[in-house]
Amino acid sequence: MEKSFRKSRQPKNGEDAERARFARLLWRAFPDANSENELAELAAMVLTSESRPVDKRTVRNWLRCENAPHFRYVIKVIALVGAEAVFQMIDPEVGE
C-alpha cells in the first residue's frame, strides 16, 4: 500500500517561512482576486516585463510555496502592497 505524502502547511525552516510571507503579500497586492488561478493571472500580467515574462504557473508555485521568487519580484510586490509590507518583512510578527 502506497502512502500519500503531502507537504506540511507549517513552515519548516526560514526559507519556507519567507515563501509563505511572500504568498500572503501576493494576496494583499491583488485583493480583487477571488481564486488562486485569478491571482496567478493578475500577478503574471503585472510582474511581466518586456525582457522577463512571468508565467501564471510560476505565480501558482509561489503561492503554494513550492518555489522562491527572485528578489526583483519581491520588490515589485512590496511596492504594490506598500511600506507596511517592508516592516512585516523585517519583523514578521508585526501584523500577523
Domain boundaries, the chain: 14-90
Are the C-beta atoms of 49 and 86 separated by less than 8 Å?
no
Length, in residues, of the chain: 96
* pTM reported for the whole predicted model: 0.75
Are the C-beta atoms of 65 and 19 separated by less than 8 Å?
yes
**Sequential pLDDT tens for the chain (96 residues):** 455 445 555 546 788 989 998 999 999 999 999 999 999 999 999 999 999 999 999 999 999 999 999 999 999 999 999 877 667 666 666 555
Are the C-beta atoms of 23 and 65 separated by less than 8 Å?
yes
Determine the pLDDT at residue 11.
47
Closest Cα partner for 53 from 31, 73, 81, 32?
73
